[in-house]
Amino acid sequence: MKKNKFPIAKSDEAWKAELDPEAYRVLRQKGTEYPHSGIYNSHFEAGNYYCKGCNNLLFESNSKFESGCGWPSFDKAIEGALMYLKDTSHGMLRTEIICANCGGHQGHVFDDGPTASKTRYCVNSASITFESKDS
């Protein structure tokens, strides 16, 4: 992948100091959490989901659905919040999603969603934070 310039760019040392080890592994090293292990997998409170690296708004709770895949799933992202990259790792062809603000790995997007959009953004809980609409 070509080095992208993001509005928020930090050294590896700065990311390590700011993020917990699991968030660093997922966001900065393109890791994946174990299925059904993330705190937002079965979370359906009204509110918004933000990039854990930079607090960029990524998803609204009304786009979240239960996919059964083991990771938080959304059928729509906030326009312009994500970048889409070709991912050929692990012998598969997938579309990786990263935060357009800091480049943090969020997960992947697939065209097998059960909603009208047919889109399933498969996101790691470790890469996002949630803010309730009641906050």
Residue 134 sits in a domain whose CATH number is: 2.170.150.20
Residue 71 inside a domain? The answer is yes
The reported pLDDT for the residue numbered 90 is: 85
Residue 36 inside a domain? The answer is no
User: Which pairs count as long-range contacts for 91-98, CB under 8 Å and 24+ apart, including other chains?
Assistant: 96/30, 97/121, 97/123
Residue 73 inside a domain? The answer is yes
The reported pLDDT for the residue numbered 135 is: 60
Q: Tell how many helices (H) and how many strands (E) occur in the chain.
A: 2, 9
Q: Tell me the residue range of the domain where 122 lies.
A: 65-135
pLDDT tens-digit profile, the chain (135 residues): 445 689 999 999 999 999 999 999 999 999 999 999 999 999 999 999 999 999 999 999 999 999 999 999 999 999 999 999 999 988 989 999 999 999 999 999 999 989 999 999 999 999 999 999 876
Read off the DSSP letter of residue 92: -
> 69 an active-site residue?
no
51, 99, 102, 122: the catalytic one is 122
Residue 119 inside a domain? The answer is yes
The reported pLDDT for the residue numbered 2 is: 45
Half-sphere exposure of 100 (CA within 13 A, CB side): 10
Residue 27 inside a domain? The answer is no
Residue 120 inside a domain? The answer is yes
The reported pLDDT for the residue numbered 4 is: 64
Residue 26 inside a domain? The answer is no
The reported pLDDT for the residue numbered 31 is: 96
Domain tally, the chain: 1
pTM equals 0.93
Residue 42 inside a domain? The answer is no
